[in-house]
Structure 1
Amino acid sequence: MENKTDILAKFFYEIGNLKKVLRAHQQTLLTVDPTDNIASHSFRTAFIGYFLAKELTADADKVLKMCLLHDIEEVRSGDMNWVNKKYAKVYGDEIRDDQLEGLPHSQEFLQLSKEYTERQSKEAKIAKDADLLEQVFLLKEYAQQGNKEAEHWLHEDGADECQQIKLMNFDFTKEIAKKAMEMKPSDWWENIWTPKNR
């Protein structure tokens, strides 16, 4: 029988492979970007989820954990874009249960995984909004680099809201998404750079 350290070490190796799982939308965005993987997506999604939860007076710890969990099954199933999902069924809940079940202290994560999938709680809805908002930021980054497909996704024939925004649950999330679409991805460093060495 495996002990705790064996089980945890294997799990940590498994989730480490999320950085090797490229996001499937690259196919429909006609791009190849090795930095656009499930690990990088989950990392930014977790930060987004935390701050959304704080702003929307929800349990930020719970949202943060849901965001970290929300795509871990893709290390076993791969990512599916919106075309793939029309034809293929992924048993994400079953995979996450298998991944988490033998882990020490896993009950909390199993419950959070179920809650996220059901999307009934405020925290689950915020975590999903974070997932969608991260996609908006990524699309804007690609569009800024000249990716016409990303630009099309963002503006869908001149529409004011892209599909990701339409799917969001909270007005605050939608406001951030719209602000992100107005900005340049490089605006974050505009007033902090200097030509002087320290």
Structure 2
Amino acid sequence: MGEQQDVRALDYLYEAGLLKRYKRTGWVVAGVPDPESIADHSHRTAIVAAVIAELEGASAERAAFLALFHDTQETRLTDIPYIGKRYLKASSNAEVTADQTVGMPEGLARLIGGAEAEYEAKESAEARCAKDADKLECLLQAVEYRDQADTQAWIDTSLAALKTDSAQRLAKLALDRSPLAWMHEARDSKPPK
């Protein structure tokens, strides 16, 4: 492995840091004053993917890995709001990932490109769980933001997009349960000994 390949790997890590600064634009459109970043979304999406995969009998680790990389192309495309996509002909995620990984060590480029391809194909159980995690995380965030802005459209579209039984069950629970119910219950219960 040459120094230039290491430089390309390092550049990818710096590029991924942009996800911490880019805000999810749909929430800006909805009127949320300080919306989550793309990295915030991707982090919880990976956790949600692991939970869904475990409930569905798939590999939690693989689903979380796929979810972790699912929006890395947005360093170059940004988070284009749904309405904006009607007017743009963006490159495919595969094209962006290929550009992002040019010059990297071959195994690393294959790892990242393979994650993108598997996620987009939705053929594996883990990819389907990761895709559902993306939508369920959006629904959870919409529920959390609904006191700040009109997020019902995000709730409706996310709910309609869910495919796995586990994600559908969790989404239905989320609609009727306060996002802080867990905290109130923990506060009011005795800690385990």
Report what 2:126 is aligned to: 123
Report what 2:116 is aligned to: 113
1:77 aligned onto 2:77: yes
Report what 2:191 is aligned to: none
CA pair 16-146 structure 1, distance change in 2 beyond 3 A: closer
Report what 1:159 is aligned to: none
RMSD: 1.8
- CA displacement, residues 33-84 of structure 1 (integer Å, 9 cap, x when unaligned): 14x1100000000000011111111122221111011100101111012111
The one-letter code matched in structure 1 to 2:131 is: K
1:175 aligned onto 2:131: no
What pairs with 1:1-198 in structure 2 (closer than 5 Å)? Answer: 2-34=3-35, 36-91=36-91, 92-104=93-105, 105-106=107-108, 107-143=110-146, 145-147=147-149, 149-151=150-152, 153-154=154-155, 162-193=156-187
Gaps of 5+ in 1: 155-161
Among the aligned pairs, what percent are the same residue? 29
Runs (4+) of structure 1 exceeding 6 A deviation are none
CA pair 58-101 structure 1, distance change in 2 beyond 3 A: farther
The one-letter code matched in structure 2 to 1:84 is: G
TM-score, normalised relative to structure 1: 0.85
The one-letter code matched in structure 1 to 2:90 is: V
CA pair 85-183 structure 1, distance change in 2 beyond 3 A: same
Whole-angstrom CA distance in 2 between matches of 1:73 and 1:81: 15
Q: Would the aligned equivalents of 2:4 and 2:103 in 1 still touch at CA under 8 Å?
A: no
Q: Kindly state the Cα deviation for residue 89 of structure 1 after the two structures are TM-superposed.
A: 2.3
Gaps of 5+ in 2: 189-193
Whole-angstrom CA distance in 2 between matches of 1:118 and 1:53: 17
Whole-angstrom CA distance in 1 between matches of 2:73 and 2:171: 26
Bigger relative contact order (CA 8 A; separation at least 6): 2
Report what 1:157 is aligned to: none
Q: Would the aligned equivalents of 1:24 and 1:81 in 2 still touch at CA under 8 Å?
A: yes
TM-score, normalised relative to structure 2: 0.87
CA pair 133-13 structure 1, distance change in 2 beyond 3 A: same
Equivalenced residue count is 184
Whole-angstrom CA distance in 2 between matches of 1:173 and 1:152: 18
Q: Would the aligned equivalents of 1:44 and 1:134 in 2 still touch at CA under 8 Å?
A: yes
Whole-angstrom CA distance in 1 between matches of 2:154 and 2:8: 41
Whole-angstrom CA distance in 2 between matches of 1:5 and 1:109: 15
Instruction: Find the residue that maps to 2:185 and give its secondary structure.
Output: coil
Q: Relative to structure 2, which stretch is displaced further, 119-128 or 47-56? A: 119-128
